[in-house]
Amino acid sequence: MNTLLWTALPYVTLALLVGGTAWRYRYDKFGWTTRSSQLYESRLLRIGSPLFHFGLLVVIIGHIIGLVIPESWTDAIGVSHDAYHIQALVLGAIAGFSTLTGIAILIYRRRTTGPVFMATTRNDKAMYVVLVAAIVTGLATTLIGAGVVGEEHNYRETVSVWFRSLFTLNPDVDAMAAAPASFQIHTLAGLLLIVSIPFTRLVHAFSAPVGYLFRPYIVYRSRDAGRPRSRSGSSRH
């Protein structure tokens, strides 16, 4: 069971993520959008959306630091375990709470603003469940990990080790199996969230417009280049 969960699943997730994104890009460029509902309502959105997104950005950075950087490296530069965990707890808790508050506001807005609710698809609702599950379990593990709630656990000796071992194609199942159930649940929720990216509106995360910072302001395009190639097959001649 453990083997299946912690070896096959992550690779299946990755495959679905890559394949799904490629598929979506190929077949649904037109549906690839934020599907913003700001036109309908912007008072709550103005608070909830930045709170959620910026919180999430910090959370992602936190995950990268926590999972990618081995404990030995932070030891080497003289960061004590306590210091590390305090900063992880403080930053993680702040970011996690603002993400959670943000999504709470957004979901409240979605439910109570008529037009926004009408524009909510079943796909969106399912996505919200997964997203909230990932955030809530994540916040829980942050608190558990630091020993605020329940028994303290140093995930950098279990989850992180397993995570890095995935990339050497030699999954360390034992490391993950040693993690408490809460961490295992959060990991599963996280995998589910990753899988859902290409198949929900979350896909807009992949079009974060960093290129905007570097391109010239005015874009010129030739008429020919502007003509979508894939659509020339429907000529009625």
Whose Cβ is closer to other proteins: residue 42's or residue 80's?
42
Q: Under a CB-based contact definition with an 8 Å cutoff, are residues 13 and 191 in contact?
A: yes
CB of 37 to other proteins, least distance (A): 7
Whose Cβ is closer to other proteins: residue 78's or residue 233's?
233
For residue 205, the tally of other CB atoms under 10 A from its CB is 12
The secondary structure element, H or E, covering residue 161 is helix 159-167
Whose Cβ is closer to other proteins: residue 78's or residue 226's?
226
Closest CA to 66 of 74, 54, 55, 77: 74
CB of 125 to other proteins, least distance (A): 11
DSSP-derived letter for residue 112 is: H
Helices of type H across 32-152: 43-68, 71-76, 81-112, 114-118, 122-145
Whose Cβ is closer to other proteins: residue 169's or residue 210's?
210
Q: Under a CB-based contact definition with an 8 Å cutoff, are residues 8 and 191 in contact?
A: no
CB of 2 to other proteins, least distance (A): 34
Place of tokens 């290409």: 198
The sign of the dihedral angle between the CA atoms of 169, 202, 141, 97 is positive
CB of 219 to other proteins, least distance (A): 4
CB of 101 to other proteins, least distance (A): 14
Whose Cβ is closer to other proteins: residue 85's or residue 201's?
201
Binding site for other proteins (CB under 8 A): 24, 27-42, 45-46, 49-50, 52-54, 114-115, 118-119, 121, 123-124, 199-201, 203-204, 207, 209, 211-213, 215, 217-224, 226-228, 231-237
